[in-house]
Structure 1
Amino acid sequence: MFRSLRNRNYRLYASGQVVSNTGTWMQRVAQDWLVLDLAHGSGTALGITTGLQFLPMLLFGLWGGVIADRYPKRRVLMITQTSMGLLALILGVLAVTGTAQVWHVYLLAFGLGLATVVDNPSRQSFVVEMVDKPDLPNAIALNSATFNGARLVGPAVAGLLIALLGTGPVFLLNAASFGAVLFGMYAMRESELNPSEPVKRAKGQLREGLRYVRGRRDLMLVLLLVGLVATFGMNFQITTALVAREVFNSGASSFGLASSMLALGALTGALLAARRSTRPRLRVLIGAAVLFGILETLTGLMPYYWTFLVLLVPTGIMLMTFTTAANSTLQLSVAPEMRGRVMALYMFVFLGTNPLGAPVIGWLSEQTGPRMTIVIGGLVSLVAALAVALLAVPRGELRPTLARALRRTAGGLRGVVSVTGR
């Protein structure tokens, strides 16, 4: 399950990511709570903050892939990680001194999005430079596991710290956490890396990447499904905060607990993916999206807080099964010189659609309630998965293919239940 960790450079990278991702998830909870406090519980303000954070991905995300293909990824990552740490430090100082205003959070969220434009494709495509190609699915799954392990711990710690100290110290801790990533990058043995040959500067490189993806029907279907599910189904950062505050009248600690339950499922799903470490197939991707849509719909219908929490776990499992399969499919299917641009396009549809979806989700929550907003997201994800299945599978083979996919993913879910039950 952990064979990628035999690589020294990857161990350094993964260790730094555990620390930094924990701080990042702590900041996400603190940022949402700070906005809700400053804007008097406005779901629209929360949606605007999330949208601004991902707006640069929508505007400039594809150019980030060009930079990732053109320059040494390790050097680029050290620059982007330093920038993100400084932005967290500024927000922490503003919050601690009591001078923070909503527009400050908006501006810093946008700045964080700008750094992420370059950081995401560089980080995604840097993994293949640290590990051999046979270990790539395992490394991608372990990246998801470290990310979601931090997602499990970070919100719970953030909720406790916010209740005891306020949001400011959380931002300062996140700023300090970037030091772990920078140390890991600095300590790597450059001779043991397998860097891709940098693409020479030339006109039309962005269009070249788009033409490459457009000519690959398999990549187009994956990106279509990821974009639809990400836009409408993956808005738990907004909806769980509103459900905790507006539906169940709970505080920051309950918000952190809900985020942790979702992360527990995501962590379990990532570890299952690391255990399999096989090249995923489209039917697994579609089946996971179908089950995710069903589970998210059921989660939104839960009448009690404890049932809401319980359903977040299998929902997180299916979410991570889906996203890990999508990431691995793309990374293993593209030419090395195109990897940065393809992963930038992946991150564009995965995160860049948030500026469109987040304000809509915030508005819907005010009009129909947070529960109904979750239900709508689940139904859209379900319909999107079925639509892509219709496009991907020959007409006569649709029903048996979906049945096999559902049995496979449901079997994985039963395995999780049996393991956790022991």
Structure 2
Amino acid sequence: MTSTTTTPAPPPDHGFTPGTARAALSYRSFRIVFIGLAISQIGTWMQNFLLPAYIQERTGRPALVGVSIFVQLGPLLFLSIPGGVLADKVSKQKLMLTMQIASAILTLGTAWLVWQDATVWAIFGVQLLIGTANALNAPAFQSSMPLLVHRQDLAGAISLNSAMINGTRVMGPVTAALLGVFGLSLAQIFLVNAFSYLTFIAALLLVPMPDVKAAVTARGWRQLGVGLKIARERLVLNRLLLGMFSFSAISLAYIGLFPSVAELNFGIDADSSRYRWLYAAWGAGAFAGALSVGTFLSRFHRRVLIVRGFTGFAVSLAVFAMLRDQVSPFFVGFALGFFYFMTATAITTSLQLNMRDGERASVMPLWFMVFGGTVPLGNLAGGVLFEAIGVRPVLLIGAGWALFLAWWLDLRRQPPEAFLSEADGGETP
């Protein structure tokens, strides 16, 4: 398999330190897409925050909370690779627009089902369709978005994107709480989310998204294995993907089951304002951790940040598991969120910088599978284990595994040939 590449453009004269968040924001097209997506993501996180809590309060079953996360994120596990193949065959711009419009319509359906107090299985069915649209959209977006900035500023763009996702993770619950104060019901808040998709759709209509295609010699079903072949032959990609797969499956069960952890460990009701602030504290930590990679931690190499991040996450999760009061989880939760997304952002940046531009549509689906797609599997298993053996043992196992990954994913021990060469745009040692 060979990939098409564009002739590298000369570094832009934006006056900022290359690879920082400020450098990435100097690109007009990136700013427009970034802002449009950020507003849309606030609506998405309102729903992502409220729906699991709604399922927990309505059923009292952590296992069903796990099912709600699985149907939403599970399609990333099964459809990311077909989505990558599709993105290399059709217009990425049109594909993204189609999936965003479909998601907006399906979110209207979710609002109606909640308003009608429909069965949770009907709600799960619509969430599965939304997850499918997201899985088909993600490879097209992630293979186009990095090309809106020069390659030397890619680290800042990825850091900003991660920070935006986690900043909206905080703003979503806060906005939902404010809308609740003004008297909006759960169904009406989901309706607001449906209309928030329009901001990202408008950005996609305003900005022509780059569309680099891979020159793939494989045909038919063999195209599904192109990304696997690239990852297998480049050791750094292999390590990062396997490490994130196991981290998502074993150590991140608490994310989707956050309302269950709050109720069972800390005695905080999932429908209380205290729970919303606890989730916001964790999200604020994740926002700070993601932004740190492109700001005050940008002077440290990402290979160092990955090791320190896994270590900090392991310690934070172990402490979080042992807490039983209703105050200290706010502080430890912030640290947990910080180390989680500092690590994830450093890994994402290293992954992107070890791929050629034409390889992203083939390799990034693997990232969605191991990061987003595996989390719901861990949540599904975690919900069952929460009921069988309790919350604390599950979280402590996740902490122990993160500590192991701090050693196994220390890329400083790998030889130079394990990485994409600097001549091809790879990161410096």
TM-score, length basis structure 2? 0.84
Residue equivalent to 2:339: 318
Residue equivalent to 1:16: 36
Letter in 2 for 1:95: V
Identify the match of residue 83 of structure 2 among 64, 76, 97.
Answer: 64
Q: Helix, strand or coil for the counterpart of 1:236? A: helix
The reply to whether residue 173 of structure 1 matches residue 192 of structure 2 is yes
Q: Shift in Å at residue 251 of structure 1?
A: 4.2
Residue equivalent to 2:381: 360
Paired residues in the alignment total 389
Q: Shift in Å at residue 199 of structure 1?
A: 4.7
Judge conservation of contact 1:61–1:345 (CA < 8 Å) in 2. yes
Residue equivalent to 1:221: 239
Letter in 2 for 1:235: A
Letter in 2 for 1:393: R
Q: Equivalent residues in 2 for 1:202-217 (5 A)?
A: 202-203=219-220, 204-217=222-235
Instruction: Identify which range, 115-124 or 67-76, moves more after superposition.
Output: 67-76
Q: How far apart, in 2, do the equivalents of 1:18 and 1:56 lie?
A: 23
Q: Shift in Å at residue 377 of structure 1?
A: 2.0
Residue equivalent to 2:423: none
Q: Shift in Å at residue 265 of structure 1?
A: 0.8
Letter in 1 for 2:157: A
Residue equivalent to 1:411: none
Q: How far apart, in 1, do the equivalents of 2:256 and 2:105 lie?
A: 25
Judge conservation of contact 1:300–1:308 (CA < 8 Å) in 2. no
Identify the match of residue 196 of structure 1 among 184, 187, 212.
Answer: 212
The reply to whether residue 377 of structure 1 matches residue 398 of structure 2 is yes
Q: Helix, strand or coil for the counterpart of 1:304? A: coil
Letter in 2 for 1:338: E
Identify the match of residue 366 of structure 2 among 339, 345, 355.
Answer: 345
Residue equivalent to 1:140: 158
Q: Helix, strand or coil for the counterpart of 2:257? A: helix
**CA-to-partner distance for each residue in 1:128-172, whole Å, 9 max, x for gaps?**
221111111111111111111111111233245457543211211
Pair 1:100–1:160, CA change in 2 (3 A): farther
The reply to whether residue 117 of structure 1 matches residue 135 of structure 2 is yes
The reply to whether residue 47 of structure 1 matches residue 66 of structure 2 is yes
Judge conservation of contact 2:56–2:65 (CA < 8 Å) in 1. yes
The reply to whether residue 85 of structure 1 matches residue 104 of structure 2 is yes
Q: Helix, strand or coil for the counterpart of 2:294? A: helix
TM-score, length basis structure 1? 0.86
Residue equivalent to 1:33: 53
**CA-to-partner distance for each residue in 1:281-334, whole Å, 9 max, x for gaps?**
434313311221121111111221210111011111111111111111111111
Pair 1:110–1:221, CA change in 2 (3 A): same
Judge conservation of contact 1:70–1:199 (CA < 8 Å) in 2. no
Q: How far apart, in 2, do the equivalents of 1:339 and 1:209 lie?
A: 8
Judge conservation of contact 2:70–2:377 (CA < 8 Å) in 1. yes
Q: Shift in Å at residue 278 of structure 1?
A: 6.7
Q: Helix, strand or coil for the counterpart of 2:213? A: coil
Q: How far apart, in 1, do the equivalents of 2:26 and 2:388 lie?
A: 52
Pair 1:223–1:67, CA change in 2 (3 A): same
Pair 1:48–1:377, CA change in 2 (3 A): same
Identify the match of residue 245 of structure 1 among 263, 269, 272.
Answer: 263
Letter in 2 for 1:128: P
Q: What is the aligned-residue identity percentage?
A: 27
Residue equivalent to 1:230: 248
Letter in 2 for 1:196: V
Q: How far apart, in 1, do the equivalents of 2:235 and 2:175 lie?
A: 43
Consecutive unaligned residues of structure 2, counting only runs of 5 or more, are 1-20, 415-429
Letter in 2 for 1:84: S
**CA-to-partner distance for each residue in 1:166-200, whole Å, 9 max, x for gaps?**
32112111101000001111112x3xx54313656
Q: Shift in Å at residue 366 of structure 1?
A: 1.5
Q: How far apart, in 1, do the equivalents of 2:180 and 2:393 lie?
A: 28
Residue equivalent to 1:413: none
Pair 1:228–1:392, CA change in 2 (3 A): farther
Residue equivalent to 1:405: none
Letter in 2 for 1:109: Q
Q: Shift in Å at residue 55 of structure 1?
A: 2.2
Pair 1:114–1:280, CA change in 2 (3 A): farther
The reply to whether residue 265 of structure 1 matches residue 285 of structure 2 is yes
Judge conservation of contact 1:280–1:329 (CA < 8 Å) in 2. no
Judge conservation of contact 2:257–2:379 (CA < 8 Å) in 1. no
Residue equivalent to 1:409: none
Residue equivalent to 1:417: none
Q: How far apart, in 2, do the equivalents of 1:285 and 1:70 lie?
A: 35
Q: How far apart, in 1, do the equivalents of 2:385 and 2:356 lie?
A: 41
Q: Helix, strand or coil for the counterpart of 2:211? A: coil
